[in-house]
Structure 1
Amino acid sequence: MTDRAAPGTKRRARRVDGPAPDRAALRAAALAHLARFGTTRAGLEQVLARMVQRWARRAAEAGLPADEIEAQAATARALVAGVVGDMAELGAVDDAAFAGSRARSLTRVGRSRRAVQAHLAARGVGDDVAGAVLDDALGARDGTGYETELAAALVFARRRRVGPFRPAGDDDSDDVEDAAASARRLRALEAMARAGFGRAVAEAALDMDPDEAEERIIRMKSI
């Protein structure tokens, strides 16, 4: 008696779709990615490296010899930096432009300068580029940068409904008001510190008049 596979369980032989990506394939993948997403040179290198890794995985599943897979993958990986360089020459990938755009958008939603810098570093923007871009996009720390940071802190406070954005009528009774207010303020300061805002900026944001706070946010978001 011949055993038969149960319906729907027939195994299909895996196959690899041709050799490892060549320069043309990597370039096409880079252009397709950049048409949809903004990224950095390091980010694009990771995208293309993952493309090569996926090919190697499929090749292994298809039964290609390991030494042949590694040889082809190594050749493909060696092409990645050149393709990324081509994209940079075309202006399709620009770390400074990416950093400036991302810095402004993150600041408008209440991210601190420190948080923005960490975000850029995680995406491969070098410290020198990030520092120059942050000064240009957000202002120097000792000048307009302080005003921008304060406005970002106000956006953060509005989202948390603290400081000038605490709901009206949310007062405690007189006998516990001071203690409750102190506890609320401490929690707000701790949250702002975790978000990367300095103590002076956080206190200025929490103590600001509501009308002035809204005006500062509007002014910052219009830049």
Structure 2
Amino acid sequence: MVARPSRSAPRPLPPAPDAAVLRAVALAYLARFAATRAAVGQMLERRIDRWVRRALATGMEAEDAARAVAPARDLIPRIVADMEGLGAVDDARFSQSRARSLARAGRSRRMVAAHLGARGVDEATAGEAMEEALGPRDGEGRETELAAALVFARKRRAGPFLRPDADGDEAARRTRRAMEAMARAGFTHDIARQALEMDVTEAEDRIMRMRTA
């Protein structure tokens, strides 16, 4: 009779994360992803939480596990600051890059601000980054917003990008739905209307200028 292979023994629980481990984890993460200070801190918290779950699975008491990782949690702000000092984390640079890419994808300025806020970028940093990347709201930034609205309209096949053979009813329906969608997406009525009424040649030119700026 052939004996069944024995199950491998569970891996032993490693020591709780220390400064060296957390620093290595942060560097490896930032080598793969652009991230904000808040995102790096959250990632390190998750790494510590994973150790706690493994500890509990081995039978460690919850209080003992929490006590074991308390020093690691206290180290997180220092590790994040170290990453910032190395230039691996820069909320302003991240925000500028993300603002440009989101605008080119058809996101409004309001949605860009919400995106950055959700990633832990403070309001002042986000505002300065959008001014730098997209231009002042009442100047160059309005042109960027209009180009983003045109990208949005093109995805909806509305306005300048309506099918040439669409009849009047379909055109009116698509315009109405596009206006509603653009309002939900954070574009003002004025920007949405201007985008939807624009000539297709000018619309494509404006999109191209934004994406190559």
TM bin (shorter chain): over 0.9
Give the 5 Å matches for 1:56-205: 56-171=52-167, 177=168, 180-205=170-195
Instruction: Return the TM-score normalized by structure 2.
Output: 0.94
Deviation at 1:75, TM superposition (A): 1.2
Deviation at 1:65, TM superposition (A): 2.7
User: Percent identity, aligned pairs only?
Assistant: 56
Q: How many residues align?
A: 211
Higher Rg of the two aligned structures: 1
Deviation at 1:182, TM superposition (A): 3.3
> How far apart in 2 are the matches of 1:205 and 1:137?
21
* Correspondence for 2:203: 213
Match of 2:13 among 17, 30, 52: 17
Deviation at 1:183, TM superposition (A): 3.1
Deviation at 1:180, TM superposition (A): 4.7
> How far apart in 2 are the matches of 1:12 and 1:69?
25
Instruction: Return the TM-score normalized by structure 1.
Output: 0.90
Residues 1:51 and 2:41 aligned together:
no
Unmatched runs of 5 consecutive residues or more in structure 2: none
Aligned residues of 2:103 and 2:148 also touching (Cα < 8 A): yes
Aligned residues of 2:30 and 2:88 also touching (Cα < 8 A): yes
> How far apart in 2 are the matches of 1:23 and 1:86?
11
> How far apart in 2 are the matches of 1:209 and 1:66?
65
> How far apart in 1 are the matches of 2:61 and 2:196?
64
* Correspondence for 1:174: none
Measured against aligned partners, the alpha-carbon deviations of 1:126-167 in whole angstroms (never above 9, x if no partner) come to 000000110110011110000000000001111111000001
> How far apart in 1 are the matches of 2:70 and 2:196?
55
Unmatched runs of 5 consecutive residues or more in structure 1: 1-6, 172-176
Letter in 1 for 2:24: A
> How far apart in 2 are the matches of 1:64 and 1:181?
66
> How far apart in 2 are the matches of 1:17 and 1:36?
27
Runs of 4+ in 1 over 6 A off after TM superposition: none
Letter in 2 for 1:203: R
Deviation at 1:16, TM superposition (A): 4.5
Question: What SS does the corresponding residue of 2:17 show, helix, strand or coil?
Answer: coil
In structure 2, relative to structure 1, the CA distance for the partners of 1:113 and 1:200 (3 Å cut) is same
Moved more, 101-110 or 62-71: 62-71
Deviation at 1:15, TM superposition (A): 4.7
